Amino acid sequence: MAHCTCKAGLGEVCSHAAALLYSVLAAADIKNGQACTEKPCAWAQTSMNSVRGVPHEEICNISFSHKQEPCSSRADQGPGCPDIRPSDKDCQAFFEALHNSDLQDSKPKKSAILSVIEGHSHRYIPKVMQLDLPAPLSTLYSSTWLEMDFPLLLVESTKVFDDLHLTKQQCLIVEEETREQSKSRVWFDQRAGRVTASVFSEAARADTPASLIKRICYPRASRFSTEATRWGQQNEDRERESYVAMMQDHHEDFQVRASGFIINPELPWIGASPDGVVACTCHGDGVLEIKCPFKTRNCSLTESCKDSSFCLGIGDDGVMALRHIHKYMYQVQAQMHIAEVSYCDYMVWTPQEVFSQKIPYDPVFFHDAYGKVVNFIKTGVLSELLGKWYTAPRFTPIYNTARKQPSEVGCYCGQPAGTDVIICTSGNCRRKHFHKTCLKLTRVPKTWKCVECRKQV
């Protein structure tokens, strides 16, 4: 008997010898034969019995993906099932039952199939499309204004500014549909392109950066969340409860409700979203504005008044009040004029104490600020709404710094500088001087930058 020299072979339990014998047996069976992979490729041989005639067809009727005839064509050859359709009466009864089952649900839903069924589809039209809402100002954009020079764009802006008209009914619908404010799509749509009361102070400044114009024209893209904004949102219910508790015992028939985005049909380019609309028999209608300062949340209001940037201050008479030049004064005055009310309940809330002040409407203050805002809308906001002046790329010649810088280009009109001009204060302006008549300016600010230099801000 053969033995393998491996360790297992000495105990006669090795399989090496058996494997060698199987290899010899396989070699004897193959002998001079060839493996299938050693032969050249060839088509499989078929018998003539398996060949059947195939009728000629146009290429467009030949299916190259299926060997067999489609089931649909084979089914047409048989008798098939009778085509039994429900009657119109049965269909209407089914659709009505489906609609009624949706209404019986604790949380009513709408079956999607009913949206394409005549007699039921009208219930699926979005509410916004059924209302007489004014078109968003973002729809004013046209590619024809994209390559227009700035002076011509100013002319078009003035025309568009004067041509915008809204009805009182449209303004009421906007306010009713936007009472959820930032949770409402219509709220964002109607704010786009309008100077709101919250930015009234910034818009009234002589020199306004392009960043503000972008915030006004694109409110969705300008949304942000900070620790301060989250602090205000977390305490919103507590603030309102404190206000109601403070006021309801001192006013007859006192009421307060949420406010949507208010637009005055006489001033359609501005709007306001106060924190509430209040009413009582003794004082009439007013608006509510609540502030929840995060920076001074752990300080008393008296200590906070020592900070000159804080909204409240203590006058010579020792009375705490909203600072007259603070941006919140611009905000509440704009809110009162837009809402056509005579006062604003201005409230400052902290965990330690609550301050409330009834601020009367000041028409002189408002109209002085509004005149500046109108100029800002015509020269800034409308330039972006119509022709994307601040966001769309435009060709700006780049000069080689090694060469001598070109001389001043001058005003857009191409006319030489005269006496009635305004100088751009950016320091790097290639035009430098502008005619006040070309810019539609009625007053000369202390510092002013042209629109091309503002883009770089």
In a structure prediction context, what are the per-residue pLDDT tens digits for the chain, which is 457 residues long?
556 778 777 667 678 878 888 888 888 777 767 777 777 888 877 666 666 667 778 887 777 776 666 665 555 566 667 778 888 888 888 888 888 876 666 666 778 888 888 887 777 776 666 677 899 999 999 888 888 888 888 899 999 999 999 999 999 999 999 999 988 999 999 999 999 999 999 999 866 678 899 999 999 888 878 888 888 888 888 888 899 988 988 888 899 999 999 999 999 999 999 999 999 998 999 999 999 998 888 889 999 999 999 999 999 899 999 999 999 999 999 999 999 999 999 999 998 899 999 999 999 999 999 999 999 999 899 999 999 988 887 655 444 444 444 456 677 776 777 777 888 877 778 777 787 777 767 666 767 777 777 766 5
Residues 222 and 297 in one domain: yes
Residues 269 and 159 in one domain: yes
Q: Write out the two tokens for 93.
A: 């009864």
Residues 213 and 259 in one domain: yes
Residues 216 and 325 in one domain: yes
Q: Which residue reads 């227009």 in tokens? A: 148
Q: What's the CA angle centered on 176, arms 200 and 198, to 5 degrees?
A: 15
What are the beta bridge partners of residue 423? 433
pLDDT at 19: 85
- CATH code, 238: 3.90.320.10
Residues 267 and 414 in one domain: no
Question: What is the DSSP code (8-state) at residue 269?
Answer: E
Instruction: Return the half-sphere exposure (C-beta side, CA atoms, 13 A cut-off) of residue 91.
Output: 10
C-alpha span between 290 and 345 (Å, rounded): 8
Residues 176 and 251 in one domain: yes
pLDDT at 68: 63
Edge-to-edge strands, sheet with 195-196 = 195-196, 267-272, 262-264
C-alpha span between 37 and 41 (Å, rounded): 9
C-alpha span between 353 and 14 (Å, rounded): 95
Residue 206 lies in a domain: yes
221: left (phi over 0), alpha (psi -120 to 50) or beta: alpha
**What dihedral angle (degrees, nearest 10) is formed by the CA atoms of 422, 427, 431, 433?**
20
What is the model's pTM?
A: 0.67
Cβ(199)–Cβ(327) under 8 Å?
Answer: no
Which one, of 341, 345, 358, lies nearest residue 239 by Cα? 345
pLDDT at 1: 54
Residue 52 lies in a domain: no
Residues 352 and 423 in one domain: no
C-alpha span between 388 and 378 (Å, rounded): 14
The residue segments making up the domain with residue 191 are 137-370
Task: Report strand pairing: 343-349 vs 284-291.
Answer: parallel
The beta-strand segments (E) located in 157-223 are 195-196
Phi, psi of 177 (to 5 degrees): -85, -5
Cα separations (Å) of 83 from 9, 79, 80, 404?
Answer: 80, 12, 9, 88
C-alpha span between 381 and 384 (Å, rounded): 5
Residues 341 and 192 in one domain: yes
C-alpha span between 455 and 457 (Å, rounded): 5
Neighbouring CB atoms inside 10 A of 219's CB total 20
Residue 26 lies in a domain: no
* Residue that terminates a domain, selected from 346, 370, 394: 370
Residue 277 lies in a domain: yes
How many structural domains is the chain composed of?
A: 2
C-alpha span between 391 and 443 (Å, rounded): 27
pLDDT at 260: 95
* Three-class SS of 364-389: HHHHHHHHHHHHHHHHHHHHHHHHCC
Residues 331 and 439 in one domain: no
